[in-house]
């Protein structure tokens, strides 16, 4: 109740511009804070085999710092091959500790998709082809990460590993029973055991991109599994809806995404450029934006960012 009170009071004081700043990437790996209200920005980094080096804020160009070296951790597929949840937990502890040591609040890991094709370009990021093994190892990794006051971000939601290439935009088709019996149990276990955040994947699922998929984001992940935190896009993920004709333009893509339950737009300015106009036109409600901000604030409070 104390957390809810804090969040409600902050929401009541925030302007629309400040709320929009919260729900989009203010650079490659952070969102905006609100200095006048004492709301910190949230900084994050890629995983899962170690915290990535520092980049320029608006370009994928390393800064070349000499203090951003970290442990080179085993790939998720190597971790799962041990069948040892204690090993997974220890790897998660290292990843979380080094993320926190580098000033990161969220690590974009672990990858918990189910492997189905040897042609998937991101198989090394995922744990296993078996839902039960993947779920057990994923939960251990998440607990190890999050004991360091770092939010784990499970990815890529959902069925990305079913794509042959498993990179960028791909089409995935399957029955609802296959989705729930094979591809979703890992995310269900992760969320129910406390994963703070999730990342929507690039691919579409039965013709609907996962970045704008109201069924998977709202009905399944949030309402069904009870995700309390937020969902972030993969970098430039919303733009793919335009490139592949799902949305008329970036404004329409932003409308679809935020209404579907995508709380934070990473890698583009689609939310920052379009949300205010979409609200004025009645195509996005203030309640929808407030829900996204509330979810982001809840993670910031949970991480203790207001105290430290």
- Active site (catalytic) residues: 234
Q: Which stretches does DSSP call E strand in the chain? A: 44-46, 106-108, 151-157, 171-172, 197-200, 204-205, 208-209, 231-233
- For the chain, the straight-line distance linking the first and the last C-alpha, in angstroms and rounded, comes to 21
Tokens of 147: 């004991």
Of all helices (H) and strands (E), which one includes residue 277? helix 270-280
Burial of residue 262 (CB within 10 Å: 0-12, 13-18, 19+) is buried
- In DSSP terms, 127 is beta-bridged to none
For 253, phi then psi, to 5°, come to -65, -40
Q: Are 154 and 199 in contact (CB under 8 A)?
A: yes
- In DSSP terms, 24 is beta-bridged to 265
């Amino acid at each position: 109740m104390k957390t809810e009170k804090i969040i409600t009071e902050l929401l009541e004081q925030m302007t629309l511009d400040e709320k929009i700043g919260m729900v989009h990437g203010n650079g490659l790996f952070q969102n905006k804070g609100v200095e006048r209200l004492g709301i910190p920005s949230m900084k994050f980094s890629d995983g899962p085999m170690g915290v990535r080096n520092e980049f320029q804020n608006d370009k994928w160009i390393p800064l070349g710092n000499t203090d951003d070296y970290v442990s080179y951790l085993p790939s998720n597929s190597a971790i799962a091959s041990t069948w040892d949840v204690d090993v997974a937990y220890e790897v998660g502890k290292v990843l979380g500790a080094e993320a926190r040591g580098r000033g990161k609040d969220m690590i974009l890991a672990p990858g918990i998709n189910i492997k189905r094709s040897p042609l998937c370009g991101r198989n090394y990021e995922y744990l296993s082809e078996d839902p039960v093994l993947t779920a057990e190892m994923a939960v251990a990794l998440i607990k190890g990460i999050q004991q360091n006051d770092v939010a784990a971000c499970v990815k890529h939601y959902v069925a990305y590993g079913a794509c042959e290439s498993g990179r960028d935009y791909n089409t995935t088709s399957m029955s609802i029973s296959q989705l729930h019996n094979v591809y979703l149990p890992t995310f269900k276990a992760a969320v129910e055991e406390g994963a703070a955040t999730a990342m929507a994947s690039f691919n579409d699922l039965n013709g609907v991109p996962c970045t704008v998929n109201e069924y998977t984001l709202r009905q399944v992940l949030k309402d069904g599994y009870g995700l309390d935190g937020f969902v972030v896009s993969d970098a430039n993920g919303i733009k793919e809806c335009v490139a592949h004709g799902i949305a008329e333009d970036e404004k329409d893509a932003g409308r679809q995404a935020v209404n579907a339950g995508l709380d934070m737009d990473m890698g583009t300015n689609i939310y920052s450029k379009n949300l205010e106009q979409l609200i004025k036109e009645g195509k996005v409600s203030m309640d929808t934006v407030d829900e996204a901000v509330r979810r982001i604030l809840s993670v910031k409070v949970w991480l203790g960012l207001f105290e430290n």
